[in-house]
Structure 1
């Protein structure tokens, strides 16, 4: 039996990838035990009655107890949230690393959040010996991760995977000068600079709409959005929506704008390209690792973001192109091939 350990995944892009992974595993009818966060109990894809699911609190001590109880139960293990098992297992273990914040902690984080990630970094180093291989989404992450933690690059596999939308038939008519940013609003996601720059852009040109996906867990950003809306700026916040509604927003939007200060992948960049959006993105390595954008900007400078909005008004702005391919089948093969009968 294979263990898929995703105990610390409960929202955002990680949850999107987890749902996709579960769906693909279930299609293959593999014999699997899922270890999942109890907060997603009612929001996971359908799982076969032949497979097992354990829901626990996202707690490292409860996770450790689980491994002690089940240490001899699995033919292979995939840890899907950066952290290897807390004990050494007598089986092959893969750990999916998808959080560059462990490597470069944004200065925008509060002091408490910076301390938390430093502690998480220490914990990762302690348990690193308990995994056989690491899986990452890009060569950029592979290089940074290997250098930061002095890991053998031969033990780091680059296997990007991501779900396609149900329909990739891009609509021919998009809302002119519409700018979509699909992201939660953690500090490194850079919403404040984006919103301020868009408002300056709108004041000058009186055109455009900014569409955001900020949920209730970010009250400060929601308050800023509300303030700008009441001041007459065309900012639309759709909050957290299902994949079907999100696809519609991508299909309608002319541009996908992505000002994040750090990403291990940037799922929105790929989704935007697949839905026919031109990409306006931060002039940072993570952008070029996954796509060739249409327009870039310095994400630390509101003036640069404003100028990117200006540049987007050029009718001849180039289309964006992807640089990666979906390797979900390769990942599933890794899990499947050494499965014991």
Structure 2
């Protein structure tokens, strides 16, 4: 039996990947047990015959689960960056997709830095409990190996992501429409983007910025409301489902991505698949997954403004993806 341990996954890009993984596993005849975060319990999983248990995402709950079931599984995929708390008899793969375990942005708050420092101590303590690490890019492989002294032979690069299957498309791509599909973690850098767009609009009186900010992100929502009241074309559409997201990508000219750190940058790949050009942060993670149309320094508002200004030119190159979906390779490891 296979264990999918995703106890710490409940939102954002990690949740998108988890949903896709479960969907594809359920198409196989593999016997799977899912250990999931109780915060997603209200969602109805479509399971054929496999079992699921929901727990509070805590180290103690997780340790107790492994103590009770350490010899029950033939292979384990830990999907939340941390290997099992204890050694098991199974072949263990740990999917690592959080760059904040590797590099912390300088402007991150002191408390947040302390929290991630503690998490890195746990990862270091548990790393002996996994056989292999799975990552999305060569960049993450290199950083993970260096930070935690893990042999590169034990780190497998297996990118995967859900393709868009919706037939909802549009032939009308709105000129100078810029989108940023992202959650609101501090490193996502929304406030600089909003300021940079406002300065761009002051200069050219062109463009529209669309964001996907949830209702509880008061600081960013306040910033958006101030700009809207001042007459700037900034629109927040909140959370969007996959079909609506597909429509948003296909009608927008650019996806601007100012994040300060990413393990993959799922939005970059999705946007390119749907014909968007990328205005990306001039950081290694961007080049690891794509060839962007334009880049900027994500720490400088004026650099964002300049990149937006350059996007008005008619000869901007198309963006190209450098990764492919290897979900079948991932699933083949689990037996």
Question: Is the Cα contact below 8 Å between 1:186 and 1:218 reproduced in 2?
Answer: no
Other structure's SS at 2:166 match: coil
In the alignment, the residues of structure 2 paired with residue 116 and residue 146 of structure 1 have an alpha-carbon distance, to the nearest angstrom, of: 22
Q: In the alignment, which residue of structure 2 is the partner of 1:321?
A: 320
In the alignment, the residues of structure 2 paired with residue 58 and residue 2 of structure 1 have an alpha-carbon distance, to the nearest angstrom, of: 20
The question of 1:7 aligning with 2:7 is answered yes
1:169 offset after TM fit, Å? 7.9
Q: In the alignment, which residue of structure 2 is the partner of 1:47?
A: 47
Instruction: Map 1:1-341; keep pairs closer than 5 Å.
Output: 1-43=1-43, 45-48=45-48, 50-167=49-166, 171-335=170-334, 339=335
Instruction: Please list every run of 5 or more consecutive structure 1 residues that lacks an aligned counterpart in the other structure.
Output: none
1:241 offset after TM fit, Å? 1.6
Other structure's SS at 2:26 match: helix
Other structure's SS at 1:215 match: coil
In the alignment, the residues of structure 2 paired with residue 133 and residue 309 of structure 1 have an alpha-carbon distance, to the nearest angstrom, of: 42
Question: Is the Cα contact below 8 Å between 1:170 and 1:275 reproduced in 2?
Answer: no
In the alignment, the residues of structure 2 paired with residue 214 and residue 201 of structure 1 have an alpha-carbon distance, to the nearest angstrom, of: 21
1:218 offset after TM fit, Å? 1.8
Other structure's SS at 1:232 match: coil
1:46 offset after TM fit, Å? 1.1
In the alignment, the residues of structure 2 paired with residue 165 and residue 298 of structure 1 have an alpha-carbon distance, to the nearest angstrom, of: 30
Question: Is the Cα contact below 8 Å between 2:168 and 2:246 reproduced in 1?
Answer: no
Give CA-to-partner distance per residue, 1:294-327, whole Å, 9 cap, x none: 0000101110000000010011100000111100
Moved more, 10-19 or 165-174: 165-174
1:8 offset after TM fit, Å? 0.1
1:107 offset after TM fit, Å? 2.1
In the alignment, the residues of structure 2 paired with residue 125 and residue 158 of structure 1 have an alpha-carbon distance, to the nearest angstrom, of: 20
1:45 offset after TM fit, Å? 4.0
In the alignment, the residues of structure 1 paired with residue 130 and residue 218 of structure 2 have an alpha-carbon distance, to the nearest angstrom, of: 38
Other structure's SS at 2:215 match: coil
Q: How many residues are treated as equivalent by the alignment? A: 335
Other structure's SS at 1:165 match: coil
After superposition, the Cα gap between the structure-2 partners of 1:262 and 1:65, relative to the gap in structure 1 and judged at 3 Å, is same
In the alignment, the residues of structure 2 paired with residue 168 and residue 135 of structure 1 have an alpha-carbon distance, to the nearest angstrom, of: 32
After superposition, the Cα gap between the structure-2 partners of 1:44 and 1:137, relative to the gap in structure 1 and judged at 3 Å, is farther
Give CA-to-partner distance per residue, 1:70-98, whole Å, 9 cap, x none: 11110100000000000000110000000
Give CA-to-partner distance per residue, 1:52-72, whole Å, 9 cap, x none: 100011111101111111111
TM value normalised by structure 2: 0.98
Question: Is the Cα contact below 8 Å between 2:134 and 2:156 reproduced in 1?
Answer: yes
In the alignment, the residues of structure 1 paired with residue 244 and residue 321 of structure 2 have an alpha-carbon distance, to the nearest angstrom, of: 23
In the alignment, the residues of structure 2 paired with residue 299 and residue 19 of structure 1 have an alpha-carbon distance, to the nearest angstrom, of: 30
In the alignment, the residues of structure 1 paired with residue 15 and residue 216 of structure 2 have an alpha-carbon distance, to the nearest angstrom, of: 16
Please report the RMSD computed on the Cα atoms of aligned residues, expressed in angstroms: 1.1
1:32 offset after TM fit, Å? 0.4
Question: Is the Cα contact below 8 Å between 2:179 and 2:255 reproduced in 1?
Answer: yes
